[in-house]
């Protein structure tokens, strides 16, 4: 029994350390806005932030970006925003793609060797949900309609009350 307790405690400690590392990595990494300038996710603390990783070569990303842009418009006055992070090598290609889609949300370029590598993204699209303190609350590792609907429900709940928006507490409520 002691052995099982030790294993459970070790797994919990590793999960907590991994979430803390992801929180710190996401917060402090400098991103290049396609509109110009630099931005960090830490500068968005106080808001619920949906971080969507995408690429121009990713067919499911196109559909998901349309949805995310619509959500961003719905939530922008309610304390939530979507940040779309291109992992394309060529920032110009990402910019053209975003312009063709007429995206209104914050769109940044980071390339394949930035956050995508640091976070070891399992797939694209991949979406992180951050609470108002910048803690990872959930990760959606696909463009599955059911998982995206659950993500939207979670964001809607978090934007209804400030206390609910801090529900992450540094843990990773990983949606798979």
Residue 25 within a domain: yes
Label residue 43 exposed, middle or buried (CB < 10 Å: 0-12, 13-18, 19+): exposed
How far apart CA 31 and CA 40 sit, in angstroms, is 6
pLDDT (mean) for 53-64: 95
Residue-wise pLDDT for 112-146, tens only, equals: 888 988 898 889 999 999 999 999 999 999 888 89
Residue 94 within a domain: yes
- C-beta atoms surrounding 45 within 10 Å: 15
Residue 171 within a domain: no
How far apart CA 52 and CA 61 sit, in angstroms, is 9
Residue 52 within a domain: yes
pLDDT (mean) for 72-83: 95
Q: Any idea what the CATH number is for the domain that residue 73 is in?
A: 3.40.30.10
What is the extent of the structural domain holding 8? 2-165
Give the total number of structural domains in the chain: 1
What's the confidence (pLDDT) of residue 78?
Answer: 94
Residue 173 within a domain: no
């Amino acid at each position: 029994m002691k052995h099982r307790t030790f294993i459970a405690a070790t797994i919990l400690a590793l999960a907590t350390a991994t979430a803390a590392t992801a929180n710190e990595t996401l917060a402090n990494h400098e991103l290049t806005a396609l509109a110009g300038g630099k931005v960090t996710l830490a500068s968005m603390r106080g808001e619920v932030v949906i971080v969507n990783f995408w690429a121009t070569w990713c067919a499911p990303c196109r559909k998901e970006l349309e949805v995310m842009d619509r959500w961003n418009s719905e939530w922008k006055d309610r304390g939530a925003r979507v940040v779309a992070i291109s992992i394309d090598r060529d920032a110009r290609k990402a910019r053209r793609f975003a312009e063709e889609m007429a995206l209104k949300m914050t769109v940044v370029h980071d390339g394949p060797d930035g956050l995508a590598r640091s976070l070891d993204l399992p797939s694209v699209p991949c979406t992180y949900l951050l609470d108002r303190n910048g803690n990872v609350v959930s990760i959606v590792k696909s463009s599955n309609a059911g998982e995206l609907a659950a993500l939207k429900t979670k964001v809607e709940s978090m934007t209804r009350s400030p206390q609910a928006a801090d529900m992450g507490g540094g843990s990773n409520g990983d949606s798979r």
